[in-house]
Amino acid sequence: MSLFKTPRTSLAEERLEKEIHDLLHALEHLKSSASRDTRNNYERLRDRAEGLLRHSRHHCHDTGHDLARHCRKISECAYDCVRTHPWSSLAVGVGAVALLGMLFARGRDR
């Protein structure tokens, strides 16, 4: 037995060792719990992201169909307008081409 060691210090060392052991055990438990929680959070986040992606795809698909339907209606209206007013449509087309030509020529001068 050491000069400074008494039964009291020996008991304090045992308590300290037990506290350290308990603390290490608690830290191991916390580590495994955190790992499990992180895995659960990751899976929950992945499921949510997949759900949002499915919703976005569905919404995009619906929007694409709506847009295509709207474009078909516009083209039908334009076709009907051109059939009803062929000379006016020709004049508007020539005017649009002339305007684009002037803008293009003006941009090349600079």
What residue spans define the domains of the chain?
Answer: 7-85
Residue the block writes with tokens 């037990």 = 18
CA distance 43 to 46: 5
Computed over its alpha carbons, how large is the radius of gyration of the chain?
40
pLDDT of residue 98: 94
Backbone torsions φ then ψ of 48, nearest 5 degrees: -65, -40
Instruction: Give the tens place of pLDDT for each residue, 14-53.
Output: 888 888 888 888 888 888 887 777 877 888 888 888 888 8
Instruction: Give the tens place of pLDDT for each residue, 50-68.
Output: 888 888 888 888 888 888 9
pLDDT at residue 2 tops 60: no
